[in-house]
Amino acid sequence: MKIFSRQKRSFRKWIYQYLSKAFFVASILILGQSLYAQNISNKGRFSVDYISGCAPLTVTLTDLGTVVNTGNAPILVHFNRNPADPESIAGIINPMITGGSIDTTYTMPGTYLIGQINGSLSGSDSFDFIEVVVTESVQPVFSVDNCTNNTVVIDVDFSTPGDTYDSYFIDFGDGQSTTVRKTDPPMLTHVYAAQNVYTVSVTGQLDSGFTGSCGSADQVITTITDLPLPQITELNILSATSISLTYSALETNIGYELEIDDGNGFQPISLLSPIDNSTSFTLDNANLDFENNTYVIRISATEACGSSSGVSNSVPTISLTYNALYVGNTIDILFDWNTTDIDLIELFLLLNGNILDTTMDVNGNWLVVWANCSEALTYQVEGNFMGAVSRSLAVSPELFGTLTPPAVPTPEISFSGGSLLVRWSAPDITSSEYRIYRQNSNGNYEQIGTSTAIQFLDNTLTANTRQVCYRVSYLDECGNESELSPEICENLSNQILLPNAFTPNGDGLNDVFRVLEGVYRNFQFNIYNRWGALVFATNNSANGWDGTLNGQMAPPGAYIYRIEYFDTSDRLMSVTGTFLLIR
């Protein structure tokens, strides 16, 4: 209104000027035209049909004939003047006749200055202009949500970037329409006469100007009489913190939310999008433990009006855990499952996807026996809950580093070439490695070596060692270390005890001439006859002479022995003596 008043004042000044020049009749004609012009230029010499509109905007300029040309003086028009130099005649190139019309189309948004030069006048008085604002044709953003009884809620987003509309024209697609201004609430409700498919169209509007090319957007809506409720068909536990759901297709324009009951009532856990989560959804939540706990899952549905809501079927999860231990040379694996009896029809115990057994027990256990720890088998519990399938986590027992195999029997110790030889029996369980432990000076056992055979030669004894104790363990095929065997200890001796005679007659009494007790380091035992010929030699203090020579019985009589060894102080000791062979 202020622009229009300013234009009217300019126009009155123009009339006064021409009245003073005796153009009374022409002035009256111009006044009559200006009263009917849609938008009048600054000096009232031409009109345009629109001074605002959405791009592309076509503007028609009409000369009002307020200045009579003399000598065919041209009327020149430019549709995009420089606002900083509006009265310059440079660049005004579009000619027109007095009372004629000319138009142009603006395809880009912006503010434009239409200028006219009338050659019958001179200087700045010959220039007239008007400003035109072209707005970007932005597509309106809105949503349509369903309510029962064929009602919809339309929500127009007034804050869309670049949206300069004053109002929006809404066509409901059923022959009815309305206009919503930005000063109105953005949401409105419409009730359709019957359930059907309708196209809702929203078009941006400007209070003044051309709106025919303003942005428009459509949405197709299917009205509902009753609230559609989804049906969960499948639930799978993917990990301790995640599950996947499959369900019947969600209806667009209805609000859906996943709910979970941990035993304290249902609580919302996640929104479901009818577009992004139409028939399936994966939930991952670090605060949940599907491996050890049981939950009940359902989907709630709410219409946009909030007057009607409902829930889907409820489907329980199934927890499945296991414990494994060696029992003899096999492994007992005890699986424990737990769920609820909501709509339960039957539970299935699966091995590698095949049914092994069925049950109606909502909690129980399942014992399986493995021959070795490296078996590759997958166990799972599946439930039928009134047609909805719920599956536990698929469990493949991982027994690496989780078991303790039983110990081997007590090892044995013998002397071998000045070192100690530790021997043991092989376990019934397949082993990949044996570990040998020796007691240190603090009384603790520490590992001193490994072996793939069932014996180990210890040649690392120190000079002052007086007693040694050993324990043995082994690794099974999965790297589980067994319990330590019972300990075996041996005292190291400094003194040699020998009999002075022996009787190798086969009666089992005193048949072998040997050292009676003790374990010695770097032991060497030689026996000679009375002429100095060697008849027997060994470096193992557990061995002795049986009274034979080259497979024949040696003659009775006196013989000489010589023994050398290192004592516990690492001194070389030598012992020589005689004995009798009695037959």
The CATH number of the domain where 416 resides is what?
A: 2.60.40.10
Q: Do 337 and 299 sit in the same domain of this protein?
A: no
Q: Do 95 and 148 sit in the same domain of this protein?
A: no
List of E strands, 41-150: 46-48, 52-54, 57-63, 75-78, 94-96, 101-106, 110-118, 127-135, 142-147
Q: What is the mean pLDDT of residues 149-177?
A: 94
pLDDT (0 to 100) of residue 518: 64
| Percent of the chain scoring above 70 in pLDDT | 90
Beta bridge partners of residue 114, listed in sequence order:
130
Integer Cα distance of 115 and 79 in angstroms: 6
Q: Do 122 and 30 sit in the same domain of this protein?
A: yes
Residue 234 lies in a domain: no
Number of structural domains found in the chain: 6
356 — phi, psi (to 5°)? -100, -35
Residue 60 lies in a domain: yes
If you ran DSSP here, which 8-state letter would residue 508 be given? Answer: S
For 342, other C-beta atoms within 10 Å of its C-beta total 15
Last residue of a domain, one of 313, 340, 369: 313
Position 8 confidence tier, pLDDT thresholds 50, 70, 90: very low
Q: Do 24 and 64 sit in the same domain of this protein?
A: yes
Integer Cα distance of 170 and 127 in angstroms: 43
Last residue of a domain, one of 155, 187, 222: 222
pLDDT (0 to 100) of residue 568: 60
Virtual CA dihedral for 456, 460, 465, 471, nearest 10 degrees?
A: -30
Classify residue 37 by burial, with Cβ atoms within 10 Å: 0-12, 13-18, 19+.
Answer: middle
Integer Cα distance of 343 and 384 in angstroms: 8
Q: What is the mean pLDDT of residues 103-121?
A: 91
Q: Do 304 and 360 sit in the same domain of this protein?
A: no
**Token pair 């009327």 in the structure block, residue:** 75
Residue 197 lies in a domain: yes
CB 181 within 8 A of CB 197: no
Integer Cα distance of 547 and 529 in angstroms: 11
Q: Do 207 and 252 sit in the same domain of this protein?
A: no
Residue 35 lies in a domain: yes
Position 417 confidence tier, pLDDT thresholds 50, 70, 90: low
Sequence-distant (6+) residues with CB within 8 A of 306 are: none
Q: Do 23 and 118 sit in the same domain of this protein?
A: yes
pLDDT greater than 60 at residue 30 = no
pLDDT greater than 90 at residue 246 = yes
Beta bridge partners of residue 474, listed in sequence order:
434
Residue 236 lies in a domain: no
Residue 235 lies in a domain: no
Q: Do 304 and 328 sit in the same domain of this protein?
A: no
CB 297 within 8 A of CB 281: no
Q: Do 19 and 70 sit in the same domain of this protein?
A: yes
pLDDT greater than 90 at residue 418 = no
Alpha-carbon distance values, 102 to 48, 82, 114, 321 (Å): 10, 20, 12, 85
Q: Do 53 and 97 sit in the same domain of this protein?
A: yes
| Percent of the chain scoring above 90 in pLDDT | 70
Chain centroid, CA 193 distance in Å? 47
pLDDT greater than 50 at residue 1 = no
Residue 233 lies in a domain: no
Classify residue 263 by burial, with Cβ atoms within 10 Å: 0-12, 13-18, 19+.
Answer: exposed
Integer Cα distance of 39 and 203 in angstroms: 24
Q: Do 126 and 177 sit in the same domain of this protein?
A: no
pTM of the predicted model as reported, rounded to 2 decimal places: 0.61
Q: Do 280 and 346 sit in the same domain of this protein?
A: no
* Domain boundaries, position 335: 319-391
Range from 302-311, 323-332, 463-472 carrying the lowest mean pLDDT = 463-472
Position 173 confidence tier, pLDDT thresholds 50, 70, 90: very high
Task: Give per-residue pLDDT as tens, 459-493.
Answer: 887 656 678 999 999 999 999 999 999 999 987 76
- pLDDT top residue among 462 and 164: 164
Last residue of a domain, one of 111, 135, 159: 135
Task: Give per-residue pLDDT as tens, 115-140.
Answer: 998 888 877 788 899 999 999 999 99
We report the CATH number of the domain holding residue 519 as 2.60.40
Average pLDDT of every residue of the chain: 88
Residue 18 lies in a domain: yes
Side-chain-facing half-sphere of 464: CA atoms under 13 Å: 2
Side-chain-facing half-sphere of 535: CA atoms under 13 Å: 23
- pLDDT top residue among 354 and 2: 354
